[in-house]
Structure 1
Amino acid sequence: MAREQANNNVLNTLDTAKTQWYHFTAVVVAGMGFFTDAYDLFSIANVTKLLGRIYYTEEGSKKPGSLPPNVSMAVNGVALCGTLAGQVFFGWLGDKLGRKKVYGMTLALMVIASLASGLSFGDTPKGVISTLCFFRFWLGFGIGGDYPLSATIMSEYANKKTRGAFIAAVFAMQGFGILVGGIVSLIVSTAFDSAYKAPPYNVDPKASLPPQADNVWRIILMFGAVPAAMTFYSRAKMPETARYTALVAKNAKQAAADMSKVLQVQLDAEQQPTSSERDSNSFGLFSKEFARRHGLHLLGTCATWFLLDIAFYSSNLFQKDIYSAVGWIPPAAEMNAIHEVYMVAKAQVLIALCGTVPGYWFTVAFIDILGRFFIQLMGFFFMTVFMFALAIPYDHWTKKENRIGFLVMYALTFFFANFGPNATTFIVPAEIFPARFRSTCHGVSAAAGKAGAIIGAFGFLYAAQSKDPKKTDAGYPTGVGMKNALIMLGVINFVGMLFTFLVPESKGKSLEELSRENEEVEENGVPATLVSRTVNPI
């Protein structure tokens, strides 16, 4: 009872604390990790075509080279494989060692791997690409750890009234990461391309490949280390979250002291748990009790994130192919290699400005008003509508006069992904599970999402390879294959709507109320918190 009284003092103060400067500081510190995550994961799309032209242009060919499908899948997907592994591992470690102890590890790994990716070496094209894939796997591993830790830390710091907005704000930094990735690619490609004007490929295949092209992709990838390094010190200075200290480490006094430092509140919690109290409410992650209380919730968070990421990562990683397929980006034979980077990056920036970034911040503004369930269901619905609207009349959008309409429709799919399930699937797992499983369950849910992203990255490329024989252009997916791929993504979004009904609404509730944190294992169908405690639990 002493422990519960002490913990309740701490937790109630957290739930009712006014929004303070430290909340915004935590958003920036945690959010810069997501800024870096998005930059590193999606900037590869800007340079994939360049890699193909540098390392896979055949001698004597009048057409630009492109990465073979299996190589393209590896370059785009290997970081996602590392992310999946990192989400599970660091999510589990965050519950075992504490959020703070693990938080700095992930950022350091991201800095080192970003720099190493740009320094990828080898005597042959295969050697360079293999080295790049190796470093991007470990980059993804560090990125993976950022998902459960950032979400959990922000949810455990926030009050219940604005918790959704603060977690969403952390995730919204992903939009800025995508945007800045495009801007950096524009700047670097412009700087290297300004003094170089090449003839078309059909005149001289080597002339369209400037010698400085190899520097372009390396600089773009290495820049991802800069924002991560800038926030390393701030992460190291963050205290452990009060909820972890009180509920998992069982030290209410330390939790109160830490909270008093950062939230400018004064709270004394002298009580310490007795040995019998330490054993209460201690069912395991793989127990029947966890399955009864949270099994469907975990299925819901995993399934919705899995389905969302198939569509979201397919659309993001293969934007360049979609733009080429509808003719929005000119054929490669009409551009030198560096200018092609510029064109792909310009398209990414426009989509980010028109749909991606606004969608994230609409979620921040409305998440604590409309609720998680409504926003997620709405997002999946409109993603389904717009995917079918792109796919069914696909030939209509490939005509030159209709390309602006295609861009608008495509941007709307990103808007409703981010003002929808891409944000809510990140938020909800950080709210509905007990503190001692919170980071692990978020990591498992996020890993299910990355499994979907891997399917999206690998499967989309193969699904889109079926080409209209009348329309082929340097290996770009076009025609029937692209149409079928978009239809598949629409169906996937519709199924995501159905699984949303397994996820509870968490708006305006405390984390302990959502997770039933203060309930013990039921006795004869009655929660133990309602049973007389005259006898200590065994």
Structure 2
Amino acid sequence: MLASVFLMQPIGQALAQIVGVWVLLGEDAAHGLHDKQCGIDMLHHEECKTIIDGTWRIVIGSGAVPALLAIIFRFFLYDCGLYTLEVKNKPGNAFRDTQRVYGAPPATSGTAASPAAAGHPYETEAVPRQFSRQNLRAFFVEDKNWYYLAGTSITWFFLDVSFYGFSLDNRSTLAGLWATTDRAPIGPDLPCWNSTLDGGTSLVPSWVTAGLPTWQSDPTRPCNTIYETIIDQTKQYLLAVSLASIAGSACFILFANRIRRREWLTSSFITLTVLFLVTGGVYYAVAHRSGAPATVVLVAICHFMFNFGANTLTFIIPAEIFPTSYRCLCHGISAAAGKLGSIVAVLVVYGIRAGYDSPTRQGLVFLLFATFMALGAVASWAYLPDVQRPVPDGRGRTRLETRTLEELGEGYRRACLEGQVIGLRNKWEDLWGRVSGRSRTKRMRMGMRMRMRIGRSEGTRSGAARGEGVEVEEEEEDRREDMGTVMPVMVEDNRTVHPVEMDGRGIA
């Protein structure tokens, strides 16, 4: 479902292009826009300004229609029961919201009445107020769920640095990828140097001193009118960006439950790193030559991979791994990190353009932003948990099953108890342990320590709720760990690990 929601992004971008062309074609049919040679001739200059000004206003205004529909649909949606219960802390409303979604259970004589119906108030366990300093510290620091937030924020940040670093919303950059010749010199040899309209005056000679106008995004075709330029821009964007992005999102929907999403996020970052390097090298080799379409093909493949992997998954995973009470907050922080990445991308590209005056500088952009893709791969590998687990399908094979939101909402602690390793340092130690053959034992000991900490933490919080002090025998626990103890039963790699006696070195 989340992947289907994300598919609307490239579809919306494509529709925006199509709406713009549709309005432009309508203006052309009504006013003969193409024949007026808008932008390169003075004869119909004022009329062209009025038509083009009205065109972009219609396109921008049409964007309000989907927003209005979304607002209307929102009035027919109810908050889920868990959100009402855990965030709004309204158990009665949560019960009603759940019934609205799933329907009321059939009434039977043996069904017990709800506390509210029986006249008894709901009783809830005393817990810290949501978003209070105590609550935030418990969730992010004591339970170490900051690992998850760091993972989702860093990956989204690095993704958007590279995604917006492509600069394909800048139409001059996009036109440069398609260009098969060098920049055309402005001079009398151009066919538009003199006006072809009766009584007209060409604007092209003024460009010798003033430079190309801002709307002219393709310096290899200076005789294109505003109408022709917009049509070309739309074709280029749809072919190089929109179609590939839509195809990538559609393919992800088909494979979302057939691939390990966390591992695929890391793999897609690595794949994009390689693609960026290849695209940058190819661009240097074929820029402004007959082989330029090769770069366009590689750029389209990059956008396919963006939406088939990292771009979609950085949106989905933050919505899966956080509990209901913190899901919106953490998803919002992660998205904000992505927008910060887009700002960094703009600044980096601006710096390259200001300090590196070369017709092939876009190749440097591709090569530079490959570094950020590699960093995204490291962050996703180190800080994000598995959101799926293999289960037998009854035919001697296994299939992937998505963990429930309740399981994932238990956060870092649950992941450690299941044998997952979270954190860059922990991942590195685990990787080294795999090489030396001690990784499995280390993960088991980490799981045991986590169980001890959970017990201490829950005891401390329970005692605090009763107003009592709870003494924790730290030295005794350390002594038992050093001298040898019985490893509790735990789950590792979807297999039950039975109790084993550990000696002082941590070896069975």
Measured against the shorter chain, the TM-score band is 0.5 to 0.7
Name the residue aligned to 2:146.
295
What residue is the counterpart of 1:456 in the other structure? 345
Structure 2 distance, partners of 1:274, 1:259, is 19
Segments of 5+ residues of structure 1 without an aligned counterpart are 1-165, 470-477
Counterpart in 2 of 1:168?
3
Work out whether 1:514 is the aligned partner of 2:364.
no
SS at match of 2:403: coil
Query: Structure 1: which amino acid aligns with 2:140?
Result: F
- Residue equivalent to 1:413: 302
The aligned counterpart of 1:154 is: none
The equivalences for 1:131-150 within 5 A come to none
RMSD: 3.4
Report the Cα offset of residue 207 of structure 1: 5.4
Which of 166, 169, 174 lines up with 1:315 in the alignment? 166
Give the 3 Å change call, closer, same or farther, for CA 482–208 of structure 1 in structure 2: farther
Whether the 8 Å CA contact 2:320–2:408 is kept in 1: the answer is yes
Q: Mapping of 1:124-523 within 5 angstroms?
A: 166-193=1-28, 195=32, 196-197=34-35, 210-211=48-49, 212-264=51-103, 266=105, 270-271=114-115, 273-274=122-123, 276-279=125-128, 284=134, 286-287=136-137, 289-291=139-141, 292-315=143-166, 317-328=168-179, 330-331=218-219, 333-466=222-355, 478-479=359-360, 481-501=361-381, 502-507=383-388, 508-516=402-410
Amino acid at match of 1:176: I
- 1:537 partner letter: A
Which of residues 517, 525, 536 is equivalent to 2:453? 525
Per-residue CA deviations over 1:384-435 (Å, capped at 9, x if unaligned) read 1221111123232324422322221101111111111111111111122222
Query: Per-residue deviation at 1:198?
Result: 5.1
Normalising by structure 1, we get a TM-score of 0.60
State the percentage of identical aligned residues: 24
Residue pair 1:310, 1:456 contacting (<8 A) in 2 also: yes
Query: In 2 relative to 1, CA 177–316 (structure 1 residues): closer, same or farther, beyond 3 Å?
Result: farther
Alpha carbons of 1:494 and 1:246: their partners in 2 closer, same or farther (altered >3 Å)?
same
Amino acid at match of 2:236: A
Equivalent residues of 2:145, 2:411 under 8 A apart: no
For 2:136 and 2:83, the matched residues in 1 are separated by 20
Contact 1:193 1:339 in 2 (8 A): no
CA contact (8 A) 1:379 1:421 kept: yes
2:75 alignment partner, SS class = helix
Distance 1:327 1:335 in 2: 15
- What amino acid does structure 1 have at the position aligned with 2:158? L
CA contact (8 A) 2:140 2:146 kept: yes
TM-score by length of 2: 0.64
Amino acid at match of 2:403: K
CA distance in 2, matches of 1:270, 1:518: 34
Rounded Cα–Cα distance in structure 2 between residues aligned with 1:278 and 1:467: 58
CA contact (8 A) 2:38 2:44 kept: no
Deviations 1:76-131, CA, capped at 9 Å, x for gaps: xxxxxxxxxxxxxxxxxxxxxxxxxxxxxxxxxxxxxxxxxxxxxxxxxxxxxxxx
Match of 1:22 in 2: none
How far apart, in 2, do the equivalents of 1:210 and 1:512 lie? 60
Secondary structure in structure 2 of the residue aligned to 1:496: helix
Secondary structure, counterpart of 1:392 in structure 2: helix
* Matched residue count: 363
Contact kept, 8 Å, 1:363 with 1:419, in 2: the verdict is yes
The 8 Å contact of residues 240 and 300 in structure 2, kept in 1 or not, is answered as yes
Where 2:249 maps in the other structure, the secondary structure is: helix
State the SS of the aligned residue for 2:105. Answer: coil
Larger Rg, first or second structure (1 or 2): 2
Q: Which runs of 4+ in 1 moved over 6 A?
A: 200-203, 280-283, 517-520, 528-536
Relative distance call for 1:202 and 1:518 in structure 2 (3 A) is: closer
Partners in 2 of 1:443 and 1:278 — Cα distance?
Answer: 24
Give me the whole-angstrom Cα distance separating, in 2, the residues matched to 1:504 and 1:208.
Answer: 60
**Structure 2 counterpart of 1:414, which letter?**
H
**Matched position secondary structure for 1:210:** helix
The AA in structure 2 aligned to 1:290 is F
Post-superposition Cα deviations, 1:200-227, rounded to whole Å, max 9, x if no partner, equal 9777698599221222222222211011
**Structure 2: which 5+ residue stretches go unaligned?**
107-111, 116-120, 180-216, 389-401, 415-449, 467-508
Q: Structure 1 residues 518 and 375 mapped into 2: Cα distance closer, same or farther (>3 Å)?
A: closer
* Match of residue 82 from structure 1: none
If asked which structure has higher relative contact order (CA below 8 Å, sep 6+), I would say 1
